[in-house]
Amino acid sequence: MTDSKDKASNAMWGGRFAAGPDAIMEAINASIGFDKRLYAQDIRGSRAHAAMLAAQGIIRDSDAEAIREGLLTVLSEIEAGNFPFRTALEDIHMNVEARLKEIIGEPAGRLHTARSRNDQVATDFRLWVRDQCDAAIAGLDALIRAMLGQAEAGAEWVMPGFTHLQTAQPVTWGHHMMAYVEMFARDKSRFEDARKRMNECPLGAAALAGTGFAIDRFATAAALDFDRPMANSLDAVSDRDFALEFLSSSSICAVHLSRLAEELVIWSSAQFRFVAMSDKWSTGSSIMPQKRNPDAAELIRAKIGRILGATVALFTVMKGLPLAYSKDMQEDKEQVFDAADNLMLALAAMAGMIGDLTVNTDKLEAAASGGFSTATDLADWLVREAGLPFRDAHHVTGTLVAMAEAKGCDLPDLSLTDMQSVNPAITEAIFGVLGVHNSVASRQSYGGTAPDQVRAQIARWKERLA
């Protein structure tokens, strides 16, 4: 004899099963603990489906109206926190439908006409991921604007450019900030592209083969703001490439966020002191009163682990599945939910940190002037003015660097006599290229670090964002 919980399960599965699942099967099978996040998308899809069924004469207008009003009641209950989610009903779809039946009675049973949970969940999830693409695009817009603000303020601030985290050549703060603008703009375009590709509607594909009812899939697609219905019913219910593409885009974006976070951690250290983060984005130590820890940046740096992990997990789930639907695909949502939550949090935190960042321009310029950062300018001058082949100029410059190291000074501090002892073609004019400001001003090639070039790039991006 079955208990009441078994009866609830039997009603959900129909007459095929004589007994309901035991506790372990119920636990592994249920997804309501996480897919209840899809409630708004599920109710929206059901309302569009019911309206289409009525328009096609498949259900009565009165039933469609009762369904519409009942679903609005369910929505208000969930949003108010009064909805009785039940694990025995497995998922958000059956929880909503069961509650709808309690509210409106027999018409609720007509809602599932000409659809399956397979196309229903594919539609709900696609709507949710589409919303997350929009959220990521908005978050990246805010971050790009914050980066542009820093770039504009520091278009002329000289700082060291690094390779291998060693001083390489002088650049400007604005140029460095604009490098991240370009990266985050590509991230934004990836989400925009992914959104375009995923904007097709699975609803109406039913379990896997379509339906014999005279439904209008173009109507439901339009009602849900999709560009068109998906063209193949097997594909519609069985693929999650839209979620994989969202996760892939999120992973690349998280890598860029992590790289910027790492620089903030380094730059805010006592050894660098290039920047100071505001109190809002720093924490203290429980034992060392002098500490000012860049915890927000460190946590952003760590987010790539969770987001990339979610990406790998879903690729692994999907890699061996035959068409069409398999229960394995229930494991898609938790990964995407977690990745999306962490990405949105990281984007918001980074935009806040960059907006509040204080830059120590004196430290930047002092660091830019050290480490023989204008050595390449000296070599370029020897090529341009003295006619040396670059390899010879490179050798002469290396010899002068070694001389400066031995004297404990920088290149501009060597005398003309010192320099001419290495190559007599060097003239007084060499000192005009050795200063860090002269160096950055000379980098006028497109995309270079010269302040004029940086300002031109800022203006271009401001125009695009406007």
Enzyme catalytic residues: 164, 285
Pairwise CA distance, residues 86 & 445, whole Å: 64
Q: Which amino acid is at 156?
A: E
Residue 264: enclosing H or E segment and its boundaries?
helix 241-267
Which DSSP letter does residue 383 get?
Answer: H
What's the Rg (C-alpha) of the chain?
Answer: 31
Residue 387 contacts residue 393 (beta carbons within 8 Å): no
Pairwise CA distance, residues 81 & 265, whole Å: 41
For 57-163, strand residue ranges (E) read 158-163
Instruction: Report strand pairing: 228-229 vs 200-201.
Output: parallel
* DSSP string over 345-382: HHHHHHHHHHHH-EE-HHHHHHHHHSTTTTHHHHHHHH
Which CA distances in Å does 80 have to 77, 83, 98, 222? Answer: 5, 8, 18, 29
Q: Which amino acid is at 101?
A: K
Pairwise CA distance, residues 438 & 454, whole Å: 15
Burial class of residue 290 in the structure, from the number of CB atoms within 10 Å of its CB (0-12 exposed, 13-18 middle, 19+ buried): exposed
Burial class of residue 186 in the structure, from the number of CB atoms within 10 Å of its CB (0-12 exposed, 13-18 middle, 19+ buried): middle
Residue 254 contacts residue 344 (beta carbons within 8 Å): no
Residue 397 contacts residue 379 (beta carbons within 8 Å): yes
Tell me the CB-side half-sphere exposure of residue 417, using CA atoms within 13 A.
0
